[in-house]
Structure 1
């Protein structure tokens, strides 16, 4: 779950150790922030929308990813929620309060929809994961406190219509300059489309499992066709997810906030081949060491899946070499030879 392994097939087969691992996994699950549909909040902008039931699942999935990233940023990955009657953890409450369905909260549904409306995507419609990545990037950068602590980068998402194509590639020099080199943590979003049609190309499923196991992983905004979910872990061929498709009463700062409603006690799972191909990866890097580890993990995974990598990383030296090859007359011939491995593909 989000980079932490609790049990492996290579572990000694011991019932007591397995039970300990299971309990530890359940405590981790119960400490993940859970955002769902809400009803009864203040109308969104100039609209009459007072609930996001039926259309806000991707927005809620993105809220979960960012909230869990901020929880890790403020308390560390191994913080666990302590359930105590009438006793709240102030630091975690501070994180969740940023997502309350109140117009004054920086990451509320009101703030998100105000941002997307300015881009021509008003509330009441389903948002793509890439739109949510750009929206939260803009909101974090607009927040003075967080902007000084966390840099945000969306791979291939700097423009609303990014049609460059190809394998998403992260530039290690660019990310260092934005984060570690200036003493900031990094929140990295990678929107992807992994297949054609309603279901993911199954060749990518094993890579998704590997990515969720990265130390820096903060999960995946994905799910079924037209039903976004927040994927946080896996076991063999199933993915564990938090589901936003539960309607709860809205919270606001005008009354006591029900923070218990932001945690889920019931683990849910789905098979990888049922995933929608449109999704977004998330990563959180606290410092330069985390960046080094992420770059190494991405590079190794790309090399192990050279014919169809989900993601790749490029150094400044490689970027210069790539530019030089692009201007060479032999580039087209080399490309044609390389692409022969895809001769059995049908392009639609």
Structure 2
């Protein structure tokens, strides 16, 4: 029986003012034992400046179980968002984050946690993202940061930042996928009843400043994407996932939805934050990752089942999106298992 790898060590950075939602997301992804379902083993530790319970907005508290020195022992450091984005972060926290980065530990933040990393100087000269409503504030408060206006998450020099709320879940699952493979991330996503794969390049689900016409529609109670349209788009996505092996086009998806291709593409982008073609490619790559991890199927067959048409095409998309080849991907995750 092969020896199981040691648990991945995750450090949740805890200090007064962190957001309970982000703490819950981090705990849900890395703090629950799902090894009986095939998920990897994790060791999540809540690291704070001292032994006192950490106060969070809403009257909640978090009990820490390690001090900040443990960050240097971690395989990954995650910073939750904060309630007051301009408040001074304890110097001990900033110092611990700098040291973790200096020893090569990946550091990630969720939502407003980007302000914490910026205070530590870790985002100077780097690309970073935060909640769409905070991008202007981040740029003004930390002009040395290259603020990305519209993405779910980005990485620059071993520093990860995520946009608001659901994008934090996306980043956490992406970090699991990066370390342990697509099947591991999908196992956790299924338990959380959330989408297992959204790329960081997708747009944030935002309402841009309303024009007069949109304000007028809103006053009448109408929305840009109706419930019935959302259901239609969901049904189209489900049908596409069942037929990934086919050479699907936007025209095919639009026909299933009973829309013109142009109207379908507009509604699809509004509802998912990405284009139909990019979404299809993301799903094909995710499906190929799972087959590479779980089966010994030859590359041409995986390419066929996932709708790439040829091994060459699949290899090109893996190189562009994942910076690796299908063969190297399979080799890496089989070695890790």
Larger RCO of the pair (alpha carbons < 8 Å, separation 6+): 1
Choose between structure 1 and 2: higher helix proportion: 2
Calculate the TM-score normalised by the size of structure 2.
Answer: 0.25
Calculate the TM-score normalised by the size of structure 1.
Answer: 0.24
Choose between structure 1 and 2: higher strand proportion: 1
